[in-house]
Structure 1
């Protein structure tokens, strides 16, 4: 079993997504003692944004790319190989302004690439994901309660985007553990953390 952990919080201390991810991985490794684990910390070390050259290289056949094109895609290729290596994908994703952190968006822009993590048939206009046979777990704290059918539910672009983009590249088995109300007083926020922790520790036995 191979686990890729992707952290996107810009905070190291007091990061709920990082802390819960760490606890989950420790518990999961007890059930999978021979598992391999890699961490990609895009919150602290985000990859570079795609550029015009990057985009041109991406849509140029590998056989006809220049050395400059190949060089601009090196980091993206490494991130994709890392993703394809993994059987399990753990994403620590705090909600920032109703969506995902910009650090995670640039990571996704680097790994969602035609003929690498998805294919497109220009005749039938159909897409197919290439990162199949994986499970994803998303741990997503938020300031308030953004659950469906709540007043803020329609503003939850974090969860809907992640589900869409992961399925687009072929990852259909997605578990999302929310940690709402993190800007509320401790008597409200702490029980939410405990509920998420309990769910994650239970999940560690079967994920």
Structure 2
């Protein structure tokens, strides 16, 4: 198993998504000693944002790219190669203001690229993901209860967005483990963390 872990919380201490991810990975490695693990921390080391040159380079044919264009895509290529190396993804993505952290959005903008992770047929308007065959696991803590299906679930633009964008590049086998109510009383917080931990250990 090749596991790519992406962490996006800006908190390095006290982060629920980080601590639950660590527990999951230790348990996974204990059960599967051959597991290979790579970690990308976009919370503490944000990805480069696309620029005007980056966009021009992205849509240029590879053989038409100038040295400057190639350089502009270097970081993106590294992130894509990491993604394509893995067969399992573990994403620690806390909900920030009803959506994903801005650093994680920058990460997605680097890896969702035409002819690298998806193709588009202008004749039929058909998209096809190129990262098929991979499984995704998302741990997503939130301040309140924004779990899809609850009264505030229609405000959840975090895990719903992640399911769509991962599916767009071909990763359709996605499991979301929410950790709601993290701004509630300690009793409620700990109960939700324990519930999420049990789900992860089950997985």
TM bin (shorter chain): over 0.9
What is the CA distance between 1:154 and its match in structure 2? 0.8
Equivalences for residues 44-83 of structure 1 within 5 A: 44-83=44-83
Aligned residues: 203
What is the CA distance between 1:202 and its match in structure 2? 1.2
2:15 match: 15
> Which 4+ residue blocks in structure 1 deviate beyond 6 angstroms?
none
Q: Name structure 2 gaps, 5 residues minimum.
A: none
Structure 1 residues 32, 186: CA separation in 2 closer, same or farther (over 3 Å shift)? same
2:202 match: 202
Question: In 2, Cα distance between the equivalents of 1:150 and 1:172?
Answer: 23
Of 101-110 and 141-150, deviating more is 141-150
2:122 match: 122
1:155 match: 155
What is the CA distance between 1:187 and its match in structure 2? 1.1
TM-score for the superposition, normalised by structure 2? 0.99
Question: In 2, Cα distance between the equivalents of 1:149 and 1:202?
Answer: 22
TM-score for the superposition, normalised by structure 1? 0.97
Question: In 2, Cα distance between the equivalents of 1:148 and 1:112?
Answer: 25
Cα RMSD, aligned residues only: 0.6
What is the CA distance between 1:134 and its match in structure 2? 0.5
